[in-house]
Chain A
Amino acid sequence: MNYALASLAIPFTVALLTLLLQRRSEANPIVPAITVLATAVSLVFAGLALETQAVSGAVSHLNVGGWDSPLAIRLRLTPLKALLLGFVALIHLLTGLYAWRAKPKIARDYWPLSALLHTSLAALILSADIFNLYVTLELLSLSAVALVCLSGPKAYTPALYYLLLSLGASLCYLMGVAVIYGQYGVLDMTVLAGIMEADHSTRFALLLMTAGLMLKGALWPLHLWLPEAHTYAPTPVSALLSGLVVKGPLFILWQLWNNLAPEALAREMGPLFAAGGVVALVSGGWSAFRAPFIKTLVAYSTVAQLGYALMGLGLLLFLQERIYAVALWLFVLAHGLAKVSMFLAAGEMQTLLGSKRVTAMRGATQTIPITMSAFAIAGISLIGMPPTGGFLAKWSLLEPLFTQANHWPWASGVLLGTFVSAAYVFRAIALGFYQAPMSREPRHFDRVSQWLALLPALLVGLMAFAGQDLIAWMAGVTQT
């Protein structure tokens, strides 16, 4: 628990510290270094937390400040949470490194805000009661919106939309919290898990919270804000938003339905989620396929890929089999890595090719091969071809479906999803193979940032080679 707390506290401290440092001088070169370093340290601590937690397999609690329930801020650490902490830190580290190298220079406010985002995500993960979750959700949204604004006035409109919808969604969620508290008088999730019943008000509360979380997590059909916000954000921010921020609400949703909701309700809700996931896959994929801009394409692909997660969640609730939880979280991990890579690559392309249009990628395999490789490998993971992480996740979703004949129809959802993902990914990749106009040499050719984009792609690209251990371990991790 202490390690996890450290992993949470470090970015928080850094956020404050960098804020102070920024004040003193206009652009302090130390700030990025500190932030990145701190993220790395936070990652190490998350890793340590994961190790202790995975070894002991235990669940630890902490009441912040020694207050007692119900007034206390309760934190709870499980192996999965430790894993997610590490994941958050890792993605932050990667994007932080990229932001450090990025040309043109990113706005200096990026550093404290990203640290704040990191903090709120970590807090969200660790929180053990549903009201705390509301607070962390708000923090998350506020810092995310602020980050979106960093790319200047053109981002204000999408940022504002994002903010307003996000606020509305939070209030939906809060209404749900109120109803639940009114019903049960408890906020702590471990306690709630035992006592919730499938009555009308619980249903209504769950519904309110779900709707809010879906809006925040850009789950279909409440994803409309996402493409613009992700498109107009600065590149590292897009990566963070797609890779992490939308996963926060998803995590809550998962806890809500998997741990709190009575099984009967969960079984009812499962098919809806799963069906929504299939539609998300198809419609998001189609939009990505038709998207005119590189980043819009990648953003819509997030919408589509969240469909897989939603499908995993739905099937988990519907069929009540652990393996779908594994699939769900494997999707989250694989998608996070792949999306970071894709957004960084997309950003690189925008800078290097001087255009944000997808058609600008013509000949990219010749002019910017490394970036293009990053984009391609990440894309292939999104499609779910072996040996990528996407394949691993898809496999763990697909394979158990076939054990019973009446679950087979759901497999067609996966089938559709694969087709559509392949369509939009290869649409972009294909452009890269056009004969490049040889005369045009890319500007600001920075090898390091290209490799930074490639790194997560490689990670996710070879993820399935650890498949057997990973699935077995995840199956254990998602128990709690």
Chain B
Amino acid sequence: MNWTNALPVVAVFSSLLPGLLIFALREQQQGLRTGLNLLGVTVKLIVVGVMLWGVSQGLDFRVEAPFLPGGALILHGDALSLQFVSLSAVLWMATTIYAIGYLRGTPLQSRFFGYFSICVSATVGVALAGNLITFLLFYELLTLATYPLVVHRGTREALDAGRSYLAYTVAGGTLLLMGIAVLHALSGSPQFVPGGYLASVPARHGPALTVAFALLITGLGVKAALIPLHGWLPKAMVAPTPVSALLHAVAVVKAGAFGIVRVIYDVYGAETLEQLDLTAPLIAVAAFTVIFASLRALQQRHLKRRLAYSTVSQLSYIVLGAALLGPIAAVGGLVHLIHQGIMKITLFFCAGAFEKTLGVHRISEMDGIGRRMPLTMSAFTVGALGMTGIPPTAGFISKWFLAAGGLEVGQPWVVWLFVVSGLLNAAYFLPLVYRGWFSIPTAEWPEDHQPESGWETRRMLLLPTLFTALLTLLMGLLAGSALGPLGWSQLIVAREFPL
């Protein structure tokens, strides 16, 4: 085994091992726990950096182990997987720091951070999975590792949310398993190939391929929160904010969206899908989700729930981008995978900071919060504008490419879909910004914890928030640089669509 084999494994284990070790720690061993976490974070970031460099240089990071007949365990770092891996590595760093700040003084931290790390490992595994079987393995691990995080508070409400989460995701996972089994029966589970490995399956298997596609997309759509499979996501808001943040930005929902991208491009391939004409329903569902979830978001009076519905809506951008089967749309979808993550995590970080510092949960309590917490509110504003697609934030770039992609494949309605969606996004985000900056606080804050440092909130809560907000801006402003997500997405698409 040389080093190119080892790196994908290290990438997975750099969070898995600390996670397992953290379980064994006592509650009071805060320093050790933080140290382990940060060690894992550092190792992972370095590994991801090296892999990014390597893939751009054309190196192949691949490792294989026997697993099932016809389906080995393959970890493979290609351009697409690294897109997701980098996102999870960077946001894991931010969220870990945030979580340390957020959870200070609460019980059961070892359990929390243990599962948290496993959750990230599973995400990285999902990203690096080189075939469907491996994907399934990590996908299910993700389901399981996230559950304890969702119910971390241990209240009845949290447990209810957890139940709903499990009901959806386990059912989804089972359908995914079915779909994978169908494909496995047809062609085994070979490695993902740009352009899809099912192109060689004879045409008479068309119905089987169709059913498998439906199963796979339904299974993945649960995590990608396609309506009507989204029910768990808003409920899962009872989880501690770092969890919601990670859930929404990276781990769970992205695993679903990423899986859909994988299935579309590397399993079926654009050609096969066009022959079978399978994407039309998916596009319809995604488009419906984009609009309907926005309308639902408008109804919410609870900050995190509104953010959750916004996630539902935004995830379908990614799905839509992938399903349109055009290179520009694919760039839009892929880049939104990153952008949405960064922006949404910013918003959740802010929501968590409001909650921890001032006890603000409801939108109506946000009046004038910008005077009390200007930096956090600035970050929130950046995130909200990004979600709306206002330049110069990252969201604008994705939206531009998605809309252009729709035109490119001869679906001009997509442009107007994004217009309407942008308007709705503005309708549910800008009032918050207005409240924060321009309204005058009407009452006392529900609770006010002024930290001793004199900062507006705990530093551990503030710094990751500002970091991701800054990233949101930079990804929009510096979109043209080759190393940015946009450049990387174009690299992926160049490899996926050999023209």
Q: Which residues of A contact B (CB under 8 A)?
A: 363, 365-366, 369, 380, 383, 385-387, 392, 394-395, 398-403, 405, 408, 411, 415, 418-419, 422, 426, 429-430, 433-436, 438, 464-465, 467-469, 471-472
- Is the beta-carbon distance between B163 and A430 smaller than 8 angstroms? yes
- Is the beta-carbon distance between A471 and B154 smaller than 8 angstroms? no
The interface bits of chain B over 303-330 (1 if a CB of A lies within 8 angstroms of the residue's CB, else 0) are: 0000000000000000000000000000
Residues of A within 8 A of B387 (CB): none
- Is the beta-carbon distance between B184 and A399 smaller than 8 angstroms? yes
Top 4 A-B pairs ranked by shortest CB distance?
Answer: A435-B154, A402-B185, A468-B66, A433-B151
What is the minimal beta-carbon distance from B219 to any residue of chain A, in angstroms? 11
Residues of A within 8 A of B184 (CB): 399, 402
Known A-B contacts A395-B68, A419-B174, A468-B66; A430 and B185 likewise in contact (beta carbons under 8 Å)? no
Most chain B CB within 10 A, of A387, A400, A403, is at A387
Residues of B within 8 A of A471 (CB): 68-69
What is the minimal beta-carbon distance from A68 to any residue of chain B, in angstroms? 43
Give 8 A-B contacts (CB < 8 Å), ordered by A residue: A369-B23, A400-B185, A418-B177, A430-B159, A435-B154, A465-B65, A465-B73, A467-B67
Q: Does B21 contact A (CB under 8 A)?
A: no
- Is the beta-carbon distance between A434 and B68 smaller than 8 angstroms? no
Residues of B within 8 A of A426 (CB): 163, 166, 170
- Is the beta-carbon distance between A380 and B144 smaller than 8 angstroms? yes
- Is the beta-carbon distance between A399 and B174 smaller than 8 angstroms? no
List which B110-135 residues lie within 8 A (CB) of chain A: 111, 133
B159's partner among A383, A394, A433 (CB-CB below 8 A) is A433
Residues of A within 8 A of B66 (CB): 467-469
**How many pairs of residues, A versus B, come closer than 8 Å at their CB atoms?**
102
Residues of B within 8 A of A465 (CB): 65, 67, 73
Most chain B CB within 10 A, of A392, A408, A472, is at A408
- Is the beta-carbon distance between B154 and A436 smaller than 8 angstroms? yes
- Is the beta-carbon distance between B137 and A435 smaller than 8 angstroms? no
A366–B153 alpha-carbon span in the complex (Å): 12
Residues of B within 8 A of A392 (CB): 68
Instruction: Name the CB-closest residue of B to A385.
Output: B140
- Is the beta-carbon distance between B182 and A402 smaller than 8 angstroms? yes
Instruction: Name the CB-closest residue of B to A469.
Output: B66
Instruction: Name the CB-closest residue of A to B182.
Output: A402
- Is the beta-carbon distance between A387 and B137 smaller than 8 angstroms? yes
What is the minimal beta-carbon distance from B405 to any residue of chain A, in angstroms? 34
A422–B174 alpha-carbon span in the complex (Å): 10
B178's partner among A365, A386, A398 (CB-CB below 8 A) is A398
Q: Does B72 contact A (CB under 8 A)?
A: yes
What is the minimal beta-carbon distance from A88 to any residue of chain B, in angstroms? 27
Instruction: Name the CB-closest residue of B to A394.
Output: B177
Q: How large is the interface on B (under 10, 10 to 19, 20 to 34, 35 or more residues)?
A: 35 or more
A47–B73 alpha-carbon span in the complex (Å): 29
Residues of A within 8 A of B151 (CB): 430, 433
What is the minimal beta-carbon distance from B462 to any residue of chain A, in angstroms? 29
Most chain B CB within 10 A, of A366, A380, A383, A399, is at A399
Instruction: Name the CB-closest residue of B to A387.
Output: B137
Main SS class of interface, A: helix
Residues of A within 8 A of B103 (CB): none
- Is the beta-carbon distance between A405 and B208 smaller than 8 angstroms? yes
Most chain A CB within 10 A, of B133, B137, B174, is at B174
Known A-B contacts A398-B177, A405-B207; A422 and B155 likewise in contact (beta carbons under 8 Å)? no
What is the minimal beta-carbon distance from A308 to any residue of chain B, in angstroms? 14
What is the minimal beta-carbon distance from B306 to any residue of chain A, in angstroms? 26
What is the minimal beta-carbon distance from A201 to any residue of chain B, in angstroms? 40
Most chain B CB within 10 A, of A385, A405, A415, A471, is at A385
Residues of A within 8 A of B147 (CB): 429, 433
- Is the beta-carbon distance between B170 and A467 smaller than 8 angstroms? no
List which B49-81 residues lie within 8 A (CB) of chain A: 65-69, 72-73
A472's partner among B69, B72, B159, B174 (CB-CB below 8 A) is B69
- Is the beta-carbon distance between B154 and A418 smaller than 8 angstroms? no
Q: Does B173 contact A (CB under 8 A)?
A: yes
Residues of A within 8 A of B69 (CB): 467-468, 471-472
Instruction: Name the CB-closest residue of A to B23.
Output: A369
Q: Does B478 contact A (CB under 8 A)?
A: no
Instruction: Name the CB-closest residue of A to B156.
Output: A434
- Is the beta-carbon distance between B67 and A434 smaller than 8 angstroms? no
The interface bits of chain B over 177-216 (1 if a CB of A lies within 8 angstroms of the residue's CB, else 0) are: 1100110111000000000000000000001100100000
Q: Does B171 contact A (CB under 8 A)?
A: yes
Residues of B within 8 A of A468 (CB): 66-69, 72
Most chain B CB within 10 A, of A363, A380, A383, A468, is at A468
A435–B111 alpha-carbon span in the complex (Å): 13
Residues of A within 8 A of B107 (CB): 438
A399–B185 alpha-carbon span in the complex (Å): 6
- Is the beta-carbon distance between A464 and B185 smaller than 8 angstroms? no
Residues of A within 8 A of B141 (CB): 386
Known A-B contacts A385-B173, A403-B185; A433 and B154 likewise in contact (beta carbons under 8 Å)? yes
Residues of A within 8 A of B482 (CB): none
Residues of B within 8 A of A402 (CB): 181-182, 184-186, 208
Residues of A within 8 A of B163 (CB): 426, 430
B154's partner among A398, A400, A419, A434 (CB-CB below 8 A) is A434
- Is the beta-carbon distance between B174 and A418 smaller than 8 angstroms? yes
What is the minimal beta-carbon distance from B128 to any residue of chain A, in angstroms? 16
Q: Does B136 contact A (CB under 8 A)?
A: yes
A210–B184 alpha-carbon span in the complex (Å): 35
Known A-B contacts A363-B154, A433-B148, A434-B154; A395 and B181 likewise in contact (beta carbons under 8 Å)? yes
Most chain B CB within 10 A, of A401, A418, A433, A468, is at A433
A392–B173 alpha-carbon span in the complex (Å): 15
Instruction: Name the CB-closest residue of A to B68.
Output: A467
Known A-B contacts A467-B67, A468-B66, A469-B66; A419 and B171 likewise in contact (beta carbons under 8 Å)? yes
Instruction: Name the CB-closest residue of A to B175.
Output: A415
Residues of B within 8 A of A422 (CB): 166, 170-171, 174
- Is the beta-carbon distance between B148 and A365 smaller than 8 angstroms? yes
Residues of B within 8 A of A419 (CB): 170-171, 174
A8–B23 alpha-carbon span in the complex (Å): 42
What is the minimal beta-carbon distance from B33 to any residue of chain A, in angstroms? 16
A426–B166 alpha-carbon span in the complex (Å): 8
Residues of A within 8 A of B280 (CB): none
